[in-house]
Amino acid sequence: MKKKTFGRLLFILCMSLIFTQVNAQTIKLSEKKVDLALKNCMIALNSNVDGLVESAMSKIILFNRQYPDVDYSKIVSALDQLTINGKTTIIKHKAFLTKIYIQNPDLFQSIRLLNKENENENFKLIISKLENEIFASN
C-alpha cells in the first residue's frame, strides 16, 4: 500500500516539476505518455489522500490547457463523482471547477493560468472568470 501511495505522490511531484520548471507551451508528450499521465491522474483522483486528489485536479487543469484535444471523458466522470461524493467540501468544489474548466474551454481561453507552487491561484482565476461571466450577463 505504501508503494502505491509513494508512486502516486512521485507522479504528482514529477508533473509539478514539469509544469513549474518548463514553459507548458514547449512541452509535447508522446501519445503514450499522455495516456499514462491521464491514467495516473485517474489513480490520484481516486486516492484517499486529500492533498493528492486536490493536486491532481490542479495538474489536470494545466494538462487540459496544454492538451485540449485529448479525451477527458473518464476524468470528467471521476470529477462528477468527486463533486457529489468528495471526501471534503474543498474537493467537491475543486472537482466542480475542474469539470467546468474542461467542458468550457472557450470560456477560459482568456485567462492566463499560473504555473506556481500555490495551486489554489488557478482555481481563484477560474472562479473570478465565472463570477465575471455571471454578473456581466445580468
Instruction: Report pLDDT digits (tens) over 13-60.
Output: 556 545 544 444 455 778 888 889 999 999 999 999 999 999 999 999
The answer to which of 4-13, 59-68, 110-119 has the lowest mean pLDDT is 4-13
Nearest to 27 by CA among 12, 17, 41, 13: 17
Phi-psi region of 22 (alpha: psi -120 to 50; beta: other; left: phi over 0): beta
Query: Is residue 10 predicted with pLDDT exceeding 60?
Result: no
Are 41 and 75 in contact by the 8 Å Cβ rule? The answer is: yes
